[in-house]
Chains A and B, each alone.
Chain A
């Protein structure tokens, strides 16, 4: 049974690590639905947020293989109900398609989107929300001339209250010294 899983991976900031992580998915023929990488809390700690659709066993195996990489501090796996997720999307809309009435403006307001740039030929609208919110907003723009649409990888915070530093401390306590 396949489900959506989110891998939250804390790493060192190291050239090539993205490749090391992504080839694990390639080898298992699991498609990455969404990927985001950014600096995280703590000294030189980076995070990857990767969304995949696969089975629980495979997801857990992938998590272990990722954690096995030398520069990976810790990798966690979450089901959809364990994360609060958001993404951002930008829409470039041709001004000529907007017309004189304020339908678009109403739509933007009612969807909690906002205009972030106005140019003679186009405007840029930003919408933050879940992937479904963004999809719905895109659908609602069908009457307008949307010239470009781009969506970020999703970022998540997790419902469990654990802190990375606690896990790292636990790990070093578990370590056996020669």
Chain B
């Protein structure tokens, strides 16, 4: 596609470029250094919807939520100086979780760069370690090519955040000939390599001869859109499947081959089978430390086939017997027809025994409807049972996140948006704003704890202003629950600064004109969740949950994945 215009300002060129890239929503905050662009947005408000966040960190998280829901890059637009520095946490979050985000920052005039002008900061310098790519535009003539490049880099290969800093003079300059061509390739950048034939054949041989094959799915499965290939392969080989936190929803939770989530607070079957399988097929995942536990004790018996698009992830943590540098979908498409159907009945039986054991010891406790104690798992399960299919589940970080990961029942079209690598508290509410900006049908559930909510609760303003139908579930234990748990387990219960004196959250939310309710007992749970889903528009449900709940299972520090504990007793 190519657009040619003459005699337009740099700011206008930015807007036209965004429209050319198919951008329909921008999350942002105006300031002195990006006002020309906002003026151009005004002209094109029929094409670009702008959502005013209440803090720039919220803009990036919203763009991340949007990217996950829309399956295309999210865009945020902020001003220079503090606007730019406030982005950093969100950019780092997007970098660690491979989320395509295009951040545009205004900047002071080129003549003032480096002279400590008002609201001047070196955003290109300090965003370098956390961006896939960044660039400072100081002339309007650079705008078209740079923006095209930015979108191409953000979404191709292993996706990630990019940042473009645009000086104010470049926004104001007039461009004689504005031509927009989408970027289709960069000489020095090879984002997607063909899966190597030899490696594919070796992988097929291992899979066909495996006695106990096991597949672990990461975020790459969702990013490359290969849910159906994954499922077909699992069913053909009768191969049990587990997911990493960011891989959850790659396969529906009710699938008979689903062993659960791997890692620190993952499921018994998924973790045990990691250390019992003979062939481990890792798809689009990076063996993060929260997945592996003690690396020396991670799957030493298994031959690992690692399908991963980013060559720098290969052999970084776990040595791969067969590395396949490729997009997950391309590799699986080639592997599928070469594999032979098999059964692995006793191996699947073993999985079912583990699932039963966890269900009897952990689920029965966490989901007990007759308990006097209201646990997080029970709340999540109630929400999960009543949510419509195709729901976007957004979580914050900590115990609320682990309960959500464990107890949401991911159906065919549901998916999870969470902060994995960076573990950013305060992620959920703004990310929900991004997801709900395109999910107008109301199927966005945002699960938070009282700690994380208070980190970005100013974004209730955006929920109010745009009437975004986010169903907010606050699991309030008046504690930083994960911190409390760690202090109990590793610091002799010397609880220090984990307890919170909290405000009346319902009053705060109601002040924003959002329906809100607080419940404290078991019997009120189902009716309250029903009311939440029945109420059109945003809704806030605060649930007073048990203060001293610990998330189990847990892999103790330094232990292997198969040494996870199901309860404090063992």
Contact assessment for B312 and A61 in the assembled complex, using a CB-CB cutoff below 8 Å: yes
Contacts of A176 in B (CB 8 A): 192-194, 326-327, 330
* A67/B128 contact (C-beta < 8 A), A174-B190, A176-B192, A176-B327 known: no
| Cα–Cα distance between A125 and B194 once the two chains are bound (Å) | 54
Q: Chain B residues with Cβ under 8 A from A171's Cβ?
A: 190
Binary flags per residue of A68-81, CB closer than 8 Å to B gives 1, else 0: 10111100000000
Check: A20 CB closer than 8 A to any chain B CB.
yes
Q: Are B128 and A70 in contact (CB under 8 A)?
A: no
Chain B positions within 8 Å of A67 at CB level: 311-312
Verify B188–A68 contact, CB threshold 8 A: no
Contact-residue bracket for chain B? 20 to 34
Decide yes or no: A174 and B124 within 8 Å by CB, A12-B188, A64-B311 being known contacts: no
**Which B residues are in CB contact (< 8 Å) with A23?**
128-129
Q: Do B125 and A19 touch across chains, with their CB atoms under 8 A apart?
A: yes
A16-B124, A61-B316 known; A70 vs B187 contact (CB < 8 Å): no
Tell me the dominant secondary structure on chain B's binding face. Answer: mixed
**B313-332 CB contacts (< 8 Å) to partner A:** 314, 316, 326-327, 330
Which residues of chain B are near A70, meaning CB under 8 Å?
132-133, 153, 186, 188-189
- CB-CB < 8 A to B330: which residues of A? 176
Q: State whether A172 touches B190 (Cβ < 8 A).
A: yes
Name the distance in Å between A166's Cβ and chain B's nearest Cβ. 15
A175-B192 CB under 8 A given contacts A16-B128, A70-B153: yes
CB <8 Å contact, B153 and A68: no
Contacts of B194 in A (CB 8 A): 174-176
For B152, the closest partner residue in chain A by CB is A70
Binary CB contact string for chain B from 115 to 142 against chain A (1 if under 8 A, 0 otherwise): 0000000001100110011101000000
**Chain A residues within 8 Å of B97, by CB:** none
Given contacts A67-B311, A174-B194, A176-B330, contact A72 B128 (CB under 8 A): no
Kindly provide the distance from the CB of A34 to the nearest chain B CB, expressed in whole angstroms: 23
**Minimum Cβ distance to chain B for residue A140 (Å):** 43
Nearest residue (CB) in A for B330 is A176
Interface centre among B128, B153, B327 (most CB of A within 10 A): B128
Q: Which of B128, B133, B190 contacts A175 (CB 8 A)?
A: B190
* CB neighbours of B189 from chain A (8 A): 70-71
In Å, the complex CA distance between A71 and B131 comes to 13
Q: Does A141 contact B (CB under 8 A)?
A: no
Q: B310 an interface residue at 8 Å Cβ cutoff?
A: yes
> CA separation between A71 and B189, bound complex, in Å?
7
Contacts A65-B312, A67-B311: A73 and B187 contacting too (C-beta < 8 A)? yes
Whether B188 contacts A73 by the Cβ 8 Å rule is yes
Q: How far is the CB of A41 from chain B (nearest CB, A)?
A: 15
Give 1 or 0 for each of A1-32: 1 = CB within 8 Å of chain B CB: 00000000001100110011001000100000
| Residues on B with beta carbons closer than 8 Å to the beta carbon of A19 | 125, 128
Please name all residues of chain A whose beta carbon is closer than 8 Å to the beta carbon of B153 when the two chains form the complex.
70
Contacts of B134 in A (CB 8 A): 16
Give B310's nearest chain A residue, CB to CB.
A68
Nearest-neighbour CB distance to chain B for A6, whole angstroms, equals: 20
Once bound together, how far apart are the Cα atoms of A8 and B387, in whole Å? 55
Q: How far is the CA of A172 from the CA of B326 in the complex (A)?
A: 14
Report Cα–Cα, A2/B311, bound state, in Å: 24
Once bound together, how far apart are the Cα atoms of A73 and B188, in whole Å?
4
For the complex of A and B, list the 6 residue pairs with the smallest distance between their C-beta atoms, beginning with the closest: A64-B312, A176-B194, A73-B188, A176-B192, A70-B133, A70-B189
25 contacts between A and B (CB under 8 A): A12-B187, A12-B188, A16-B124, A16-B128, A19-B125, A20-B128, A23-B128, A27-B129, A64-B311, A64-B314, A68-B310, A70-B132, A70-B186, A70-B188, A72-B188, A73-B187, A73-B188, A174-B190, A174-B193, A175-B192, A175-B193, A176-B193, A176-B194, A176-B327, A176-B330
